[in-house]
């Protein structure tokens, strides 16, 4: 494990990234870190090689429990000492225990579970099952969607920049306008639709909630046509947006919910597809229909029960933090109406639209250099995401809002003076 700090480690990291990964990535991360690299993390803080500490309200939604939550670390370390990998030829209790914990977490609404390592894994298996179960090739997704960058998931990702160069490689997908209640019914007339896949709140698209009434209509329509409704909650589920599932909170009749990002407690990579017996039937019949060497890996699944338990216990705190964020961000919008165009969010997922991409870029860079990590929206460059952890304290929110306010003010002045 690399624990050294200071200029030497930073120089080695940037040189290696430039030589072996990507020169633009080396330049961007060097600029973002002010010439330093991240070397350690704990709770809500990330430590840099130059001695600074940054408050983490970003990390693309992974660190909902902060960094190195002791309960999750203990569960993974215990498994590491017993059986860190699996033979894949026999059953193991860690895999089974994690699956049971997830089924119980949703009160048995989704009795079947498949584990992956990232969100795209969960998307791939859900869509594959829908296609196999129905015998139909086409899937409906939503304008502005993001579901991953592997080929199957990429087919459901709307933004052209991610799909460039691959027009003939992606499975058949049609994008339905997010505000069109009739959109799914219209496409179903062709008789080739296996499923409709949606994010209740589109994270990468600037934190844009979809209309629950429209989603309810879509779910009803696809079910009447013998297809499936799949909710991608890889970013919004697990108490990020209040409850365990936004789709279920909104009363949507879904056949599968996809989880990831914080499911490993910010310690290990793990994702899961939970679904009905009906959708899962092809894999119940043939368990080798969709497998992966590291799917259900013991170190990853060991984290799941601990993560779910901590998240459930932290929800009241999350509700209080969400109220603080909502009020503070509304005040920021009112204070800088010419710079902050819109504020949207739910729970601990918030998006800010700025007047233009240049302003958003300046604000993000200023935040990183002054002590706050947020997440950009690569497909919507005028927007930034705030993703505070459930374990944050009110003073952390206050600090973040102070840094955000100063960064907005300073970036606005800088751009006006150019």
pLDDT tens digits, 318-336: 999 999 999 999 999 999 9
Mean pLDDT to the nearest integer, 275-280: 98
| pLDDT tens digits, one per residue of 20-29 | 999 999 999 9
Question: For the chain, percent helix, then strand, then coil, each to nearest 5?
Answer: 45, 20, 35
- The span from the CA of 53 to the CA of 370, in Å, is 9
SS3 annotation, 295-360: CCCHHHHHHHHHHHHHHHHHHHHHHHHHHHHHHHHHHHHHHCCCCEEEEEEECCEEEEEECCHHHH
Residues 6 or more apart in contact with residue 347 via CB below 8 angstroms? 239, 240, 241, 242, 318, 319, 322
Is pLDDT above 90 for 407?
yes
Average pLDDT, the chain: 95
Cα torsion through 36, 39, 41, 45, rounded to 10: -10
Which pLDDT score is estimated for 167?
78
Which pLDDT score is estimated for 2?
46
**CB contact at 8 A, 215 and 250:** yes
- What percent of the chain has a predicted confidence (pLDDT) above 70? 98
| pLDDT tens digits, one per residue of 70-92 | 999 999 999 999 999 999 899 99
Answering whether pTM is above 0.75, one says yes
Angle separating helix axes 357-370 and 23-32, nearest 10 degrees: 60
Angle separating helix axes 23-32 and 7-20, nearest 10 degrees: 150
| pLDDT tens digits, one per residue of 34-56 | 899 999 999 999 999 999 999 99
- The span from the CA of 231 to the CA of 221, in Å, is 15
Domain boundaries, the chain: 70-311
Which pLDDT score is estimated for 410?
92
- What percent of the chain has a predicted confidence (pLDDT) above 90? 91
Is pLDDT above 60 for 208?
yes
Is pLDDT above 90 for 168?
no
Which pLDDT score is estimated for 4?
54
The class of domain 70-311 in CATH terms is alpha beta
Q: Is the dihedral of CA 69, 92, 133, 136 positive or negative?
A: positive
């Amino acid at each position: 494990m690399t624990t050294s700090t200071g200029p030497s480690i930073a120089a080695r990291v940037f040189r290696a990234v430039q030589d072996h990964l990507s020169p633009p990535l080396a330049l961007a991360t060097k600029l973002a870190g002010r010439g330093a690299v991240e070397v350690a993390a704990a709770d809500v803080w990330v430590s840099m090689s130059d001695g600074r500490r940054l408050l983490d309200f970003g990390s693309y939604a992974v660190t909902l429990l902060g960094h190195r939550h002791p309960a999750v670390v203990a569960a993974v370390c215990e498994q590491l000492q017993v059986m860190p990998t699996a033979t894949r030829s026999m059953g193991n209790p860690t895999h089974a225990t994690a699956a049971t914990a997830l089924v119980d977490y949703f009160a048995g609404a989704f009795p079947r579970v498949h584990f992956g390592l990232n969100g795209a894994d969960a998307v791939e298996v859900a869509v594959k099952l829908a296609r196999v179960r129905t015998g139909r090739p086409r899937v409906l997704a939503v304008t502005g969607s993001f579901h991953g960058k592997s080929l199957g998931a990429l087919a459901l990702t709307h933004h052209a920049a991610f799909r460039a160069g691959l027009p003939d490689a992606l499975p058949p997908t049609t994008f339905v306008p997010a505000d069109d209640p009739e959109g799914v019914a219209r496409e179903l007339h062709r008789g080739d639709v296996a499923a409709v896949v949606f994010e209740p709140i589109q994270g990468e698209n600037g934190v844009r909630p979809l209309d629950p009434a429209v989603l309810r209509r879509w779910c009803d329509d696809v079910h009447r046509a013998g297809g499936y409704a799949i909710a991608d909650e890889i970013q919004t589920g697990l108490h990020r947006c209040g409850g365990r599932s936004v789709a279920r909170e909104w009363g949507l009749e879904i056949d599968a919910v996809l989880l990831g990002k914080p499911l490993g407690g910010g310690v290990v990579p793990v994702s899961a597809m939970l679904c009905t017996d009906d959708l899962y039937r092809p894999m119940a019949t043939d368990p080798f229909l969709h497998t992966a060497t590291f799917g259900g890996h013991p170190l990853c699944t060991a984290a799941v029960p601990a993560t779910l338990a901590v998240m459930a216990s932290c929800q009241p705190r999350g509700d209080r933090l969400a109220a603080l964020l909502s009020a503070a961000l509304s005040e920021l919008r009112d204070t800088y109406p010419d710079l902050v165009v819109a504020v949207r969010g739910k729970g601990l997922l918030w998006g800010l639209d700025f007047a233009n991409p240049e302003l958003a870029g300046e604000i993000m860079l200023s935040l990183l250099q002054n002590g706050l990590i947020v997440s950009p929206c690569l497909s919507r460059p005028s927007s930034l995401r705030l993703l505070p952890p459930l374990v944050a304290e009110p003073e952390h929110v206050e600090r973040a809002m102070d840094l955000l306010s100063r960064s907005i003010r300073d970036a606005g002045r800088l751009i006006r003076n150019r």
